[in-house]
């Protein structure tokens, strides 16, 4: 059993290292996106909802055909892939990475690999505004303990109901 765990750990480390190498040019941007998704500032959640709403409103207003929409999306991704490594050092400065930044970048890549492994077999990604908004707010909800708080409240309510049912049956 330990051999299987060791192999899985080694495979995860190899996939993480490969992803880190592929995303090295986008490191500064990934750290900034991570800060936004974890709500390090109070105005990040409304900004996320605003951007997602603006994107969906633009798609609704333009009403592109499927082919045009996919083409524009792929073109945007290619343009971002080309421009981010060029512009990121100019925008974020050419300072050297600290050990803390490198460690956070490694954690982000590791989490991306784990998420990709878990998502294999999912029917299809969400494509509606509420689903996307919730998925983008999920890291911040988790970081600030909001999910734990409401899960705890739900557990207490369920326990109360079970206790009432037991008392009623007695």
Cα 28 to Cα 153: distance, rounded to the nearest angstrom: 38
pTM of the model: 0.67
Task: Provide CB contacts within 8 A for 35, sequence distance 6+.
Answer: 41, 44
Per-residue pLDDT of the chain (170 residues; tens, 9 = 90+): 466 678 888 888 898 999 899 888 888 889 999 999 999 999 999 999 999 999 999 999 999 998 998 899 999 989 988 888 888 888 877 667 789 989 999 999 999 888 888 877 665 555 566 777 777 888 898 889 998 999 999 999 999 999 998 888 87
139 closest CA partner among 55, 33, 28? 33
């Amino acid at each position: 059993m330990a051999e299987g765990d060791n192999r899985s750990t080694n495979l995860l480390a190899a996939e993480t290292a490969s992803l880190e190498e592929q995303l090295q040019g986008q490191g500064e941007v990934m750290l900034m996106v991570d800060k936004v998704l974890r709500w390090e500032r109070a105005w990040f959640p409304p900004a996320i909802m605003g951007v997602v709403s603006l994107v969906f409103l633009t798609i609704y207003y333009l009403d592109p055909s499927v082919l045009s929409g996919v083409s524009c999306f792929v073109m945007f991704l290619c343009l971002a892939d080309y421009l981010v490594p060029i512009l990121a050092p100019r925008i974020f400065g050419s300072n050297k990475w600290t050990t803390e930044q490198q460690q956070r970048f490694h954690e982000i890549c590791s989490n991306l690999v784990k998420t990709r492994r878990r998502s294999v077999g999912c029917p299809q990604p969400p494509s509606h505004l509420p689903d996307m908004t919730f998925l983008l707010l999920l890291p911040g909800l988790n970081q600030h303990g909001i999910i734990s708080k409401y899960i705890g409240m739900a557990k207490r309510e369920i326990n109360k109901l079970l206790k009432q049912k037991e008392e009623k049956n007695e």
